[in-house]
Structure 1
Amino acid sequence: MPKISEARRQARRAEIMAAALRCFARNGYRGTSMADIIAESQLSAGAIYSYFASKKELIRSVAGSVLEGREHELDSAGEDHVLEPAEIAITLIRGLRAHAPISALLQVWSEASVDSELRVVLNDVIGRVRTTICQQLEIWAHTQQTIDDPAAWAQHVTPTLLALVPGYVMQTTLTDNFDDDDFLRALPELLRGSA
């Protein structure tokens, strides 16, 4: 049997994780079985289990992948120009919106509240995202004459800016008639007085 390339292997992993995300969004984490993920992916059980030994391993990989992608997007966006606080939040939210069913994020976060291993994974990835946000905020703070200590200010406001993301996810998922585009348009107005 021919050996598959690493690129093909990564593509197959991504395909399985996307199928799992769709199932989690539709049925919830607890309501999704490996059989559901197998059916959604249209792959054999053997193919799925050769990549992921269990649903728990799969959700850990999905969570890590979704959040790590946002870290890279922030780094890339900050290469072109200094990101304002609202741009940081919008970049995170748009990245989540483009790469994961938003309702599945609540499922992952909910599961992390009772699964200590998943919580460790999320803490690690969220910690790296938080560091990236803090770095971007500090760069912006250096451009503001009203901020005396940009590093301290960035450390202080990072958790609050990061909290906008789960607030968006919760409202998108749970609030009827929530206008997510209006939420994004309002962020610059809200954060204009960030300093």
Structure 2
Amino acid sequence: MARVSQAHLDARRRQILDGAARCFARKGFHGTSMQDVLHEVGLSAGAVYRYFSGKDDLIAAIAGEAVGSVRQAFEEAARVSPPPTPDVLIGRVTRTLFSGESRGMDRRAYAGLIVQVWSETLRSERLAATLGEAYAGLRLAWAELVEVYREAGILAAGVPSDHVARTLIATAQGFIVQLAMFGDAAPEVLENGLRGLMSMDLQKIS
């Protein structure tokens, strides 16, 4: 029997994950059955179960990828030297995350899938651990970036770096939720809003 190449195995796994993600985006995690996934990907049960033990395993894999996509988008945007200001940085993150179609879904459907992943952590300790680890790493990476802002003299020393990092992450999360719920969120809106807030003259308020 001819040996199956790693490229073929990877492509088949990708086919299954993408098909499952489309099902989950349409019907939700709990509204989707394994039969729905099998029909979507056009494979036998044996072919699918070779890669994933069941629906929870598929959900965990998709959750890991969704979190990884968000983290990668942040890291790629922050890798520019000198680092861009927060408004530009958040804009780059959201454009990278939602550029083109992902897994055959439009950007609103993909945003909805990410939100489903987040909500599923309230039920699954496995997902909560996966996302918690990724979130901790993201906070650390962004706290380091905030220190770069501080060293450049463009950020005051009084606010803890982790607080700024968590606020930036929350801004991106809020954009994803708006996109999933209403479909009208755009990176330009986020950039302009942040730019407006950054331009406030606090001396006139105090």
Task: Calculate the TM-score normalised by the size of structure 2.
Answer: 0.79
User: Is residue 2:172 matched to residue 1:165?
Assistant: yes
Structure 1 Cα separation of the partners of residues 199 and 161 of structure 2 = 14
The residue number in structure 1 matching 2:85 is 84
Counterpart position of 1:156: 163
Q: Structure 1 counterpart of 2:39, which letter?
A: A
Count the aligned residue pairs. Answer: 192
Which structure 2 residues correspond to residues 1-195 of structure 1 after superposition, within 5 A? Answer: 1-81=1-81, 82-98=83-99, 99=102, 101-148=110-157, 153-175=160-182, 178-190=184-196, 192=198
Q: CA 1:70/1:153 → structure 2, altered by over 3 Å: closer, same or farther?
A: same
Deviation at 1:80, TM superposition (A): 3.2
CA distance in 2 between counterparts of 1:131 and 1:70 reads 14
List alignment gaps of at least 5 residues for structure 1: none
CA pair 173-67 structure 1, distance change in 2 beyond 3 A: same
What CA distance in whole angstroms lies between the structure 2 residues aligned with 1:95 and 1:142? 27
Secondary structure in 2 aligned to 1:172? helix
Is the CA contact 2:175–2:185 (under 8 Å) kept in the aligned structure 1? no
The 1:128/1:145 distance shift into structure 2, 3 A limit, reads closer
Q: For structure 2, which runs of at least 5 residues remain unmatched after alignment?
A: 104-109, 201-206
User: Does the 8 A contact of 1:83 with 1:140 survive in 2?
Assistant: no
Contact between 1:21 and 1:62, CA under 8 Å: does it hold in 2?
A: yes
Q: Distance in 2 between matches of 1:15 and 1:126?
A: 27
Native 8 Å contact 1:15 1:41 kept in 2: yes
Separation of aligned partners in 2, 1:138 and 1:6? 42
User: How far did residue 115 of structure 1 move?
Assistant: 1.4
Alpha-carbon offset, residue 47 of structure 1: 1.7
Separation in structure 2 between the aligned mates of residue 191 and residue 63 of structure 1, nearest angstrom: 33
**2 CA distance for matches of 1:135 and 1:161?**
13
More helix by share: 1
